[in-house]
Structure 1
Amino acid sequence: MKSIKALEVTSVKDNKTGQFLTTIPDRFKSNCSGYAFTDGQYWIVDSYESTTRNEIADFENLLNSNSLYQKQIGSTNANVAVIWWTDKSTGERFIAHSAIVDSTNKYMQKSDYSMHGIATFEGFTDGHLPSDSNLYSYEIAYYKRNF
């Protein structure tokens, strides 16, 4: 059985005071993929766990084969948008950015430590598309929640 790693933030230390915060701000609870796929409750790890296992490939397989999400053509019926990059030399894929998308084509997104709020398609893709098309290709995929 394939699995993915999702991390829950249980404490945050203020780097100025050295004290642990009593309440964890939303901006620290998830990365962009955790925001989009787990309603901001977890960080979805998209790095390589070892040289033999590509965890993000497991995540993509989960999205493509699980009844929780259904891949969509376009954003009209989608709930989540993902920018996938593919390394042209190895074929390996990874998530560059994720967001919640609504039927009016508005994207609710965040970066690792800040909330960005509502954006247009251009705002969603800004800074998240490969700058060198010789090295990477990309796909914007849309998924609809089935729950």
Structure 2
Amino acid sequence: MIKDNLFKKLAHSHKGYTKYLNGQTLEAGYKPDYVLKNNNKYIILESENTSSRKTYVGGMMKAAHFLQNKKKGKLIFVIVPKKNTTAESIAKHLKPYLNWVCGNTNLKEVYIIEAAAYYQNNLLITLDCKKFEMCALKV
């Protein structure tokens, strides 16, 4: 598990992107845990330790709402799997909602990755590396 305050302090990275926000308001009512930015492209990261599927749907809808007009991007959920909430089950649950909202947003990619794969031995994997592609599930 990555505690919320630690997650917001970590140096998440993707080539060409810089840190934009870490817990501050992105738009009214939306404070994602961490945001990387490259011009009008965003990578939104959310660390979730809950088993509530509503939390994931809500987080995705808020990202979809923000990523409109010229703003494009992707959303990454870093999760702690539970008995009834695995990366696979969350991805499967989110798929119909992403398909439904797809025509009204520039959010085209949502990923689920387990915290243990993303953060090991006090090191993060970069979001554009092969290991991320292998470990993360694309919704």
What TM-score bracket applies, with the shorter chain setting the length? 0.3 to 0.5
Greater C-alpha Rg:
1
TM-score by length of 1: 0.32
Choose between structure 1 and 2: higher helix proportion. 2
